[in-house]
A = this chain, B = another copy of it.
Amino acid sequence: MNREGAGDCCDMRGMLGFLILFLLSKKPMHGQELAGEIANRKGEKKPSPGTIYPALKSLREAGFIVEEKDGKTIVYSLTERGENALKLAKRKFVKTFFGIFPE
Contact = CB atoms under 8 A, between A and B. Distances in A.
25 contacts: A2-B58, A3-B14, A4-B61, A5-B61, A5-B62, A9-B17, A9-B59, A9-B62, A10-B17, A12-B14, A12-B18, A12-B93, A14-B14, A22-B97, A22-B99, A41-B95, A41-B96, A41-B98, A42-B92, A42-B96, A43-B95, A93-B100, A94-B101, A94-B102, A101-B101
Interface residues of A, number: 42
A76 interface: no
Interface of A: 2-5, 7-15, 17-19, 21-22, 26, 41-43, 58-59, 61-62, 64, 85-86, 89-90, 92-102
A3 B15 contact: no
